[in-house]
Chain A
Amino acid sequence: MKSKKTKYSKSKYKLKKYRHRKKKSVFARAKRRFSEYFSYWTKQGYRKQRNWIDLDNASKLFPSVMNATDTKVFRFTATVKDDIDPKLLQMALDQSYKHFPLYRGVLRRGIFWYYYEESDLHPVVEKETDYPCRSLFHYDEKQLLFRVLYYRNRIHLEVFHALSDGTGASWFLQLLITNYVLLRYPESRSERIELPEEFQYTRYESGSQLDDSFTRYFNKKKNEKSINVKEMNPDESEKRKWKRVYQIYGRKTQDNRMQIIESEMPAKDLLKISKDRNITLSVLLTAIFIESIHKTIKRKNKERSVTISVPINLRQFYQSHSARNFFATTLIGYTFGQEGKTDTFDEICECVAEQYSTATKVENIEHKLFSLVKLEKNLALRIIIRPLKNLILRLANKINNLSITAALSNMGKISFPKNIEEYVDQIYVYITASRPQFACITHKGILTINFSSPYQDTEIQMNFLRRLTEMGIPVTIGANDVNPPNTKQDADHSDYLFEQQLVQRENQA
């Protein structure tokens, strides 16, 4: 009773106050408005000088070459035991965000270059309602370069490639999922968390996270002694000439969304197959990919090269805890229809394996990166204004793409602290692409291979996955709908068509 009374009196009081305010509201409001207005010119907070940093060598390309289809956003998906609790996920995100100063950055335009600027923005988890990997950068808007989404039991981390590469983002994912599981499943807290070696503290220090490792290792001025003339000569394999590199074209999706096909399979089965052949998993997957693409080529009689662009994580060669981009790409390929070759799968494997071993030699990588960084520091290029630079980079990218058929990215293994692991199921990763592409990652013995493509056609993906099932590997796939029925009527109509099709099939049989 008492509480009711106070409540009542309180509301009355409020009413009184409100009336009182209303009487002289015009004057008061004007006064308030003016004081607000003047505070803008006097308060310190409004003239904050924000910290900013330069983009690293690899990042410089992404804002220039992104477009509506190929947004250069990649996505990590983690599935956990139950449906996601958004409130706890938000808490986990808040905790993780604190440890990732890099992710506080927004991308902005200068006269000559883009740059990252520190922001006070606060990331908010959202339910996934849109298609995967929507654009994360708008030239005139300050927005964070990553987002966290959830759907059923899935947590998605989408990151703009200019901010971070897969390895950098996987650290954020590990922290986010660990925090979420600790909050969602209190049982997991009972044990003391034992951090695996890769959860070193240095990862979460702003100094090492924001490190521009490209400049640190490959800036000629700083590292003059470390290079000698011998290394500057391009290796023989670098000069490998491709014959008419095959380009994949297809029917684009209706509204430029990515076609995603995710697949999962036991890693040990694939590892056994590659061990039997005495090759690595990457080599096996690359060879299958090349073969699958070749199967789709209509005119097979000509000499054609199928080349795959493969990123190499540079952290395995150079000590770095940077969460920013630190990778190089290399081309692995195979030329079909050469004399004296029958283009069997074994031959492709052998050729790919050989290229992998030369491509991952430190000297070869170093040479390429020194010249890339040298180009970036070239004064003539630097003083070109940004809009023009964009055009040049876009053109250069187009030309470079002519020598690439497709791309793949093997993220290797990902793991979580021991007591977290049992709550986390599959991890998926994929990136937007201007041509069919796949990324794969292994977690808890399950390998997921995820295809992304701007096209509606799925022949390459089909060839690839059928090849795996033919080898006796149990594969489960999932896909997003690129041709969804727009209205109820459409849906009913397509249902009707589908049933008719089934009837026809049965009749034929």
Chain B
Amino acid sequence: MKYCNSCKIKIKGSPRVCPLCKEPAVDAITKFSKEESTKAGTKNAELSEVNSIEADGSFDPFPIVPLHYKQYTLLTVLSAISIFVYVIMWLIYLKFPESGLLPRYIFFALVSLWLLVSAIVRKRRNVAKSILYQFNILSVLLLLLDKLSDWSGWSITYAIPLLVCVALFAIIIAIGFIQKEFGDYVLYLGAVAIAGLIPLLFIIFGWVDVLWPSILSIALSSIMLILLIIFRYRLIVHELKKRLHL
């Protein structure tokens, strides 16, 4: 127990300064022993000195917690690498302008890296959600890449339909091994399966010449949807009600 002469206040534990006024605190025992010794004899003062912690329950009321500093390591390393790579590429481009679109691709690659990493980190607690986000980001990126490299349609012909199939299988395999409640995943699985029906538009509007990837995606997705509706209808309704309630 300590004592602050300025605030006239007892302080629990053994801080060196008064938490209120930051003046040095004195030992409460030396402060009070004179008064006590006149009242109850020296015995009392001795006792309180021997057992000063237990007698008045005066230990530091809070554990000492070292300072927490936010960990920026991964983020800082990633951004440093990104900036470094981009600057180097620009320098190369300035030196050899014939390398053409190089900086644009590099920029594109870095943005993709950032988007995917942030999706993985932010959604790491729910694998199905994470896959859904990555699928969306990748689809948009691939479309852009196709556009950047003089549209030839490979993104909607092959990349996106096949990506749907990969995403579907990835979710089914992952959640079976993780073994957490299906309710947490079912809507994301459903969302990927619905996204898998989009290649139907590609076929209808005649955007694609090679049909088998789109057909594969549509077939797998509709099987998935039908299975979900037949076997997990009540769970889906329950989850939808829960998440969509107004």
Contacts and interface: CB of A to CB of B under 8 A. Distances in A.
Interface of A: 36-38, 40-41, 46-50, 52, 54, 79, 110-113, 115, 117, 128-132, 140-141, 151-154, 254-255, 257, 260-262, 379, 382-383, 425, 458, 461-462, 465-466, 469-470, 474-481, 484, 486, 498, 501-502, 505
Contact of B183 (A49, A115, A477, A486): A49
Interface in B64-98: 64-69
B63 interface: yes
Contact of B8 (A132, A151, A469): A469
Of B20, B68, B182, B243, which is in contact with the most chain A CB atoms at under 10 Å from its CB?
A: B20
Nearest to B122: A140
B118 to A, nearest CB: 14
B125 A52 contact: no
Nearest to A476: B10
Interface of B: 1, 7-13, 15-17, 19-22, 24, 57, 59-69, 122-123, 125-126, 129, 175-177, 179-183, 232, 234-235, 238, 242-246
A262 B63 CA distance: 14
A486 B67 CA distance: 6
Contacts of B234: 49
B245 A113 contact: yes
Contact of B19 (A54, A140, A261, A505): A261
A383 B65 contact: no
Given A49-B234, A50-B183, A481 B62 contact: yes
Contacts of B68: 131, 255, 257
A481 B64 CA distance: 7
Contact of B9 (A110, A382, A475, A501): A475
Given A257-B65, A498-B16, A110 B245 contact: yes
A501 B17 CA distance: 11
28 contacts: A40-B175, A46-B181, A50-B181, A113-B246, A130-B65, A140-B122, A140-B129, A257-B65, A260-B62, A261-B20, A379-B246, A425-B57, A462-B21, A474-B10, A476-B9, A477-B11, A477-B12, A479-B19, A479-B62, A481-B15, A484-B64, A484-B65, A484-B66, A486-B66, A486-B67, A498-B16, A498-B24, A502-B24
Contact of A36 (B21, B179, B242): B179
B181 A48 contact: yes
A110 B242 contact: yes
Which 8 A-B residue pairings sit nearest by Cβ, starting from the closest?
Answer: A479-B19, A478-B12, A478-B61, A480-B62, A462-B20, A476-B10, A110-B243, A140-B125
A131 B180 CA distance: 32
A129 B63 CA distance: 6
Given A475-B10, A477-B10, A479-B62, 14 more contacts: A46-B180, A54-B245, A111-B244, A115-B242, A129-B63, A140-B129, A151-B62, A255-B68, A382-B246, A466-B9, A469-B9, A476-B11, A478-B13, A498-B24
Contacts of A129: 63, 65
B232 A47 contact: yes
A69 to B, nearest CB: 12
Contacts of B20: 261, 458, 461-462, 465-466, 477
B61 A40 contact: no
Contacts of A474: 10
B65 A466 contact: no
A271 to B, nearest CB: 20
Contacts, number: 142
B245 A112 contact: yes
B57 A153 contact: yes
A115 B62 CA distance: 34
Given A477-B12, A502-B24, A49 B238 contact: yes
A31 to B, nearest CB: 15
A131 B181 contact: no
A139 to B, nearest CB: 9
A478 B11 contact: yes
Contact of B235 (A40, A47, A140, A254): A47
Contacts of A47: 181-183, 232, 235
B179 A255 contact: no
B246 A112 contact: yes
Nearest to B242: A52
Contacts of A140: 122-123, 125-126, 129
A38 B11 CA distance: 62
B13 A40 contact: no
Contacts of B17: 498
Contact of B246 (A262, A383, A502): A383
Contacts of B59: 152
A489 B232 CA distance: 61
A112 B9 contact: no
B242 A46 contact: no
Contacts of A38: 176
A132 B62 contact: yes
A37 B242 contact: no
Contact of A131 (B65, B183, B232, B245): B65
B246 A478 contact: no
B9 A255 contact: no
A425 B244 CA distance: 47
A429 to B, nearest CB: 14
A478 B58 CA distance: 9
Contacts of A461: 20
Contact of A110 (B15, B181, B244): B244
A132 B126 CA distance: 29
Nearest to B13: A478
Contacts of B176: 37-38, 40-41
B69 A255 contact: yes
Contacts of B64: 481, 484
B24 A458 contact: no
A48 B179 CA distance: 13
